[in-house]
Amino acid sequence: MKFISWNIDSINAAVEHKSARGEMTWDVLNKIAAAKPDALAIQETKLKATGLTKKQEEALKELFPGYFIYTNSSTARSGYSGTMFIAKEEPISVDYPEIGAPGDMDQEGRIITLEYPKYYLSTVYTPNSGGELARLEDRGSWDDAYRKYIDGLNEKKPVIFSGDLNVAHEEIDLKHPSANHHSAGFTDQEREKFGNLLEAGYVDTLRALNPGKPDIYSWWAQRSKTSKINNSGWRIDYYLVSKSIADKVEASTVVDTGARQDHAPIELDINL
């Protein structure tokens, strides 16, 4: 089975593709559609609280004919955050959980979980700790609540979960670790929380298949014109799986997006 996950940074920008960056985003989305994944998980949809517009829905259905589309949009702040699944097979159930996170985080459309006979397929858009780490404490509470949520699923059947987790776990996961120890996404607390998730019984599939291999990133800052050219990036997007099915993973990779900066999609190939 082939699964792809991507922080797209606005469904509307992709569908409209009126800017150079929008064109690149649309091209990547077409590339994903051509690969015919079993499911595409999307983060940061930035949809209105009411979900997809008619134009957006028609565009996605044309790209992914016969697929089932599920969206979880932010009701706390329209046009912010949000997640989506585009799945080839209809799931047994679909959940848009609230995990007891602080503030408005549970109303920001950050998680969707699809249940299938042999596994759960889930996606998450983890809150960023923010400028000057203003949300670091709340982010830590989110991490704890999210781990508890995934554990609850894993007690029933194996879990495959992906998304923008907004953390580079180890120094190998970003180009300039020494300069970023106090930056959102690479604080000791965020890294420790991610380590706790792994210790709870889950596997970082890309790193498991590429131990010690440097320069594998999934995000390059848009504000730096040379970040992609110099491969000065961060790996903050992940496919994780329950340890019970880790041996079934065949490949875990970052999809090439050419000159496009920001997030790249990630792909998981697994024999279930």
Instruction: Give the catalytic positions in this structure.
Output: 125, 164
The tokens 């554990």 sit on which residue?
151
In single-letter form, the type of residue at position 256 comes to D
Q: Which residues, in sequence order, are bridge partners of residue 125? A: 164
H or E, element range at 151: helix 136-154
- Report d(CA 268, CA 254) in Å as an integer: 9
Nearest to 234, CA basis, from 216, 209, 210, 213: 216
Listed in order, strand segments (DSSP E) in the chain are 2-7, 39-43, 68-72, 83-87, 93-95, 111-115, 120-125, 159-164, 202-204, 219-220, 237-242, 249-254, 262-263, 266-270
Q: Which residues, in sequence order, are bridge partners of residue 123? A: 112, 162
- Report d(CA 98, CA 81) in Å as an integer: 15
The tokens 């090439």 sit on which residue?
256
- Token pair of 188, please? 């000791």
- Token pair of 10, please? 């606005």
Q: What is the DSSP letter of 246?
A: G
Nearest to 42, CA basis, from 208, 56, 131: 56
CA 86 to chain centre: 13
CA distances, 222 to each of 7, 21, 233 (Å): 14, 10, 10
